[in-house]
A and B are shown apart, each in its own frame.
Chain A
Amino acid sequence: MIANILDGIVLGLQFGLLAAGLTLIYGLGGVLNLGYGQIAVTSAMIVALSMDAGVPVVPAVGLGLLAGGLFGLLLDLTILRPVYRLRGEARVLLSLLLTLGVSFIIDGYLNWRYPLKALNLYIGGGAIDILGVPMRRGSLVASAITLVTITGLFIFFRSTSLGRAIRSVIEDESGARLIGIDPKQMLRLILVLSGVLAALVAVTRSMIAPVDTTSGLSITVFALIVTVVGGLGNVVGALLAGIILGIVNVVAADLIGSYISLILLLAAAAVTILIRPAGLLGVKE
């Protein structure tokens, strides 16, 4: 049981970080990025291709993160421009359709050019005991990286003036504008950050299971579900939801079997949304 919960936490931390990137863009800009999983996959492919070309692992991962950030910046500078001109529901819908178009382009290109390519950062060595449970090194390294990133995010949002500026835009856009914060710049920054987060999740995920060119849609869908369960725009909620859903998934998989476990995970998400439509930590508008 403890082993399951630990595995669930490993998975859940990644779910949470994945959702954090998506939820920030939604909270800040009212934009739903359905190309989110494709950013992760593109970055994973760049890491894999760099390593094929002889680049050592760490710089290759650096390139992947850079690519994720650039991808986010590119979205902000190109197809999201007309989206920003709209408001409310129309904005969500147009952002959703345009980023869906982007996801088609990326998926189509990667499946055509690199059909069998997958990123697999296998970390060798024996298992390490945690609370008397042997854990794979890959899982531990992935979780450590994820935890450090999450801590970094918290420090950024709580203690730096830039992080506070971003939070002020999420809370009250016109108020933030009044005290001299440019919401557009903050949004651009968050798109870059979410791109980097997507890339990071792809990299840590590949330490546990291979990330291939067809993973995009499922990454987006999971990020979306965790985001909503945690409450749109709520980073802490996203992390909490990620961990809870991760544990539900692993425990159910062990007790019942894999396809029912997916259904249970989904049911848990649905029930949470129905009980608390604003999300776990959300405040009802």
Chain B
Amino acid sequence: MSGRFTGSTGTSLIGGTEAHSSRSLPALLVPIIVVGAVLALVPFWLGDSRVLMGVAVLGLAFVCYVIGFNVIFGGTGQLFLCVGALAGVGGFGATILADNVGLPIVASILIATLAATLMGGLLSYVAVQRSLGVIFTGIVTLIFSLSFDALLLGLSNLTGGDTGRLIKSGTDTFLRERIPPYYLMLGLALAFLLTHGLLRRSHIGWAFRALRDDEVAAELAGVDVARYRVYGALIGAAMLGLAGSTYALTEGRISPTTFGFGHVDVVVMVMLAFGGIGTLFGPIVGAITFTIVDEVLIDFGQLRQVAYGILVIVLFLWMPRGLIPTLDSVWRRVRGLVGARH
């Protein structure tokens, strides 16, 4: 069955979606431009504070992580519990290439991103080959996360061990100024949003939906499920690697916790589940909401985690499918009521 879908039958399907996407391209672009315009105003509001700009940049890094995770998990149903580790392959890879090997920053970022992409693709390929289910893919990728963490702590001459290391490269560039890193990460987040939006409209997105809805039916209809799973992982992992390496270079210091499982994966999962798994704008809503919540609760110290836990429970009891799908169904119901009355 492999390859048939991308062959002759595939072209007509791509054509079909192209006609569809040209009609609805403004419907995709307008919301992204609005989101971008609103977020572009943030530095005018917080720009005086170095600390708050740091929070905003981290928030945008999380937007990127959540989009990457959403492409993999929301798109193709592979529970990758190695978001932090893949971003860390990017972050530590770029740091080591730039500082220790002496490559230019852009080349370092690209090579590190490529490494993260290949790693994600490999994990997915193995999971698909062994036809692992959601939970098992989750465990294998969790094992990869933990191994990566152990490796970071072990190779302390390269990674700085537990305390982490400073990044010399980029010290005197715009990467370490107060405002420019924000726009860099914003550009990245918007590019990811657009990529995901276009992806959803392409034949790849069509295949993703088919295999998410019913894997067996998709396979019978000629979708090469295994191939599209790996595609999803490659695209998502590339996003994670690129975001991780860019974030590391703007931050100027990294440690294992920067990309730790508890600090990244758990948070990313909560953000995506809050925004709505598989939705286009869920990641941005979830990441921004939880970045703000985290900042509002900062005075509570350790108790912040308690509040965070209560919030997670309340939110998921209230709307287990996430904010965007819940709002969507409320909106449909309201529209249905209004329509029925007329």
Contact = CB atoms under 8 A, between A and B. Distances in A.
B303 A277 contact: no
B316 A97 contact: yes
Interface stretch (A124-132, A143-151, A198-206, A266-274): A266-274
Given A104-B309, A108-B302, A112-B306, A273 B316 contact: no
A101 B312 contact: yes
Given A104-B306, A108-B308, A277-B132, A263 B150 contact: yes
Given A94-B320, A100-B312, A274-B130, A105 B135 contact: no
B143 A225 contact: yes
Contact of A98 (B150, B305, B317): B317
Nearest to B312: A101
Contacts of A98: 312-313, 316-317
Contacts of B154: 259-260, 263
Given A217-B262, A221-B142, A277-B130, A108 B306 contact: yes
Contact of A267 (B135, B147, B306): B147
Contacts of A267: 143, 147
B158 to A, nearest CB: 13
B304 interface: yes
B83 interface: no
Contacts of B134: 89, 92
Interface in A90-122: 90, 92-94, 97-98, 100-109, 111-112, 115
Contact of A112 (B140, B146, B262, B301): B301
Interface in A230-285: 232, 259-260, 262-263, 266-267, 269-270, 273-274, 277
Contacts of B306: 104-105, 108-109, 112
A277 to B, nearest CB: 6
B40 to A, nearest CB: 32
A189 B211 CA distance: 38
A224 B142 contact: yes
A273 B139 contact: yes
Interface string A62-93: 00000000000000000100100010011011
Contacts of A270: 140, 143-144
Interface residues of A, number: 41
B327 interface: no
B257 to A, nearest CB: 13
Chain B interface, >50% SS class: helix
Contacts of B302: 108, 111-112, 115
B249 interface: no
A13 interface: no
Chain A interface, >50% SS class: helix
B126 interface: yes
A228 B81 CA distance: 15
A111 B303 CA distance: 9
A32 interface: yes
A266 B130 CA distance: 18
Contacts of B146: 221, 262, 266
Contacts of A221: 142, 146
B317 A259 contact: no
Contact of A225 (B133, B139, B266): B139
B269 interface: yes
B116 to A, nearest CB: 19
Given A266-B143, A273-B139, A104 B305 contact: yes
A112 B303 contact: yes
A251 B134 CA distance: 32
Given A90-B320, A98-B316, A228 B309 contact: no
Given A101-B312, A108-B305, 5 more contacts: A100-B269, A103-B309, A115-B302, A217-B262, A224-B139
24 contacts: A32-B135, A82-B320, A86-B320, A92-B134, A94-B316, A94-B320, A97-B312, A98-B313, A101-B313, A102-B309, A104-B305, A104-B309, A105-B306, A107-B305, A108-B305, A109-B303, A109-B306, A232-B135, A262-B147, A274-B126, A274-B140, A277-B130, A277-B131, A277-B136
Interface of B: 126, 130-136, 139-140, 142-144, 146-147, 150-151, 153-154, 262, 266, 269-270, 273, 301-313, 316-317, 320
